[in-house]
Chains A and B, each alone.
Chain A
Amino acid sequence: MIPMLETRDLAAVYGGNRALAIPHLAVAAGELVGVVGANGAGKSTLVNSLLGWSRGRPRISGEVTLAGEALSHLPSFERVRKGLLLIPEGKLVFATMSVEDNLLAVGGQLLGDRRRAYALDDIYDLFPGLKERRGHLGAQLSGGERQMLGIARALRLGPRALLLDEPSIGLAPRLVATVLATVKQLAADGLAVLLVEQNVRAAIEVVDRLVLIERGSIVAQGPAGAMRDDPRIAEAYLGAHAT
């Protein structure tokens, strides 16, 4: 089986400091892979580097393939058009544009077969809250609504693989569950999903596989069930008495 998203020797260097070194990582279509690790471990650097993208100026190297097609030589926006979508950490909506303009601004491109670009109505069916707030500016949205809008904008572009960087950050527990359930559903619909999460307890309930990153490297990975019992996960992230 060809993985939907695959990377080899992915590395990122910030001014001489190696922030990331990943020999191999693959995500299959329909698979939801969680990425966890401490602050500064390199989780954001990993998902950003898959797109060759950053708000800083790292040197990024390595191979990235999407559905067997090499992307490494393409600029970020071309990788996006191929179906590799990132919902980044931090600022993820256009604050000076309305919700509807955020959504209308992208999508509508001609897509290859087996890719679904969500129409505006599909988006509003999936996120009724966004429909209600379609006229509001991005800046007026709550944290949860911003996450929805970020995901929605990615769906408009017909993703094959979705990279989410801490979509549950700052959300109330019930909203976390909603966001993660949405993510799970998108994977079940056939997308390859890489989910960066600080909230390991919530993430481990939905992911198929968990990857633990420390100092830019993968130090443990495995099926969610097995990783739950991994001492490095259990002690550091779930508390000593976690089940």
Chain B
Amino acid sequence: MNLAQQLINGIVLGHAYALIAIGWTVLLGVARLVNFGHGQMYMLGAFVTWYTVSRLGLPYLVAVPAAMLAGVAVGYVMQRVMLQLTLKQDLVSIMIVTLGFGYVLNGAAALVFGSTGQILETPLSRLDIYWGDLWLTWQDVALVVAAIVFFIVLKYVIDHTAVGRTARMVAEDPPLALLAGINVKKVYLGVFAFEGAAVALAAALVAPRTPILTSMGFDEVIVTFVVVVLGGIGSVLGSYFAGLALGLFTAFFGALVSPAYTTAAAFLVMIAMLVLRPGGFAAAPGSR
């Protein structure tokens, strides 16, 4: 086994995980919401990208925003449907509704895109980089760079802009936010739209690494779950480091032990973390 190669794999995988999870992190942090249709939204993002590139013949750079737009639409509709549940913070119903929504997306996608596997090729995914006996693609580089830029911008927006302050107010105390003149419903809709856009962006960048199927989504929602919990619920920086850690763990565990047990091992680590450090990586009060 080549340690340096596993390090590269882990770093790429880690940034993929962080990017896949970030929408849910913000959703949970700001709106105290969960979305078990997250994985299917990832699938939809991947297929919209694929369709735009392979069927419509449009450039990848057009396909990425197209997928994000589809994500925004789905997120918005989903939140519109369950706004009353959100306002009541009825988490159990929200869990079931989002899970159901995922299955609807799954079925609709199979109907539209067919149930055979596809390869999402981008101009970058075929461009290899060799460095000694190390290998990665330009798609991997793009993914890592995009993830880092995305996290930096997001962190800045949350900490230092009016939009971020509004989101933080709603996150802490929705009734008090109303008294500050904030349209809380609009923030909830916006957060879900953001979640849709973020997971679609992740899909457009990450999905070219593996064949895509309309039945996928389960692995992605599990990864998201682990990252969000490890990172400290709602923490942006925590999610970044949790994603990176999970990526490195997966790469090295897969190489050193066996890829078959990676998910089980990742959950063991998560359970241990939850017991030993219940706040996740970002356990400091008020951090995000």
Residues of chain A touching chain B, judged by Cβ–Cβ distance below 8 Å, are: 51, 53-55, 75-77, 80-81, 85-86, 88, 91-92, 94-97, 101, 104-106, 108-109, 137, 139, 153, 157
User: What's the A-B contact tally at a CB cutoff of 8 Å?
Assistant: 66
Q: Verify if B183 is at the interface (C-beta below 8 Å from A).
A: yes
Q: Verify if B211 is at the interface (C-beta below 8 Å from A).
A: no
Given A81-B181, A105-B162, 15 more A-B residue pairs with CB atoms under 8 Å apart are: A77-B179, A77-B180, A77-B183, A80-B178, A92-B176, A94-B169, A94-B172, A95-B172, A96-B171, A97-B169, A101-B168, A106-B180, A108-B162, A157-B180, A157-B181
Residues of A within 8 A of B169 (CB): 94, 97, 105
- Residues 179-207 of B contacting A (Cβ, < 8 Å): 179-184
**Min C-beta distance of A213 to chain B, whole Å:** 22
**Chain B residues within 8 Å of chain A by Cβ, number:** 20
Residues of A within 8 A of B162 (CB): 104-105, 108
Q: Verify if B90 is at the interface (C-beta below 8 Å from A).
A: no
Among A80, A91, A96, A109, the most chain B Cβ lie within 10 Å of the Cβ of A96
Q: Whole-angstrom distance between the alpha carbons of A33 and B171 in the complex?
A: 34
**Chain A binding surface SS class:** loop
Residues of chain B touching chain A, judged by Cβ–Cβ distance below 8 Å, are: 162, 165-166, 168-169, 171-173, 175-184, 285-286
Residues of B within 8 A of A104 (CB): 162, 165
Return the contact of A91 from the options B173, B181, B286 (Cβ within 8 A).
B173
Whether the pair A105, B165 counts as a contact (CB closer than 8 A) is: yes
Q: Whole-angstrom distance between the alpha carbons of A108 and B165 in the complex?
A: 13
Whether the pair A96, B176 counts as a contact (CB closer than 8 A) is: no
Return the contact of B168 from the options A88, A92, A96 (Cβ within 8 A).
A96
Whether the pair B172, A96 counts as a contact (CB closer than 8 A) is: yes
Whether the pair B183, A97 counts as a contact (CB closer than 8 A) is: no
Residues of A within 8 A of B172 (CB): 94-97
Residues of B within 8 A of A80 (CB): 178-181
Q: Whole-angstrom distance between the alpha carbons of A35 and B141 in the complex?
A: 65
Q: Whole-angstrom distance between the alpha carbons of A20 and B176 in the complex?
A: 22
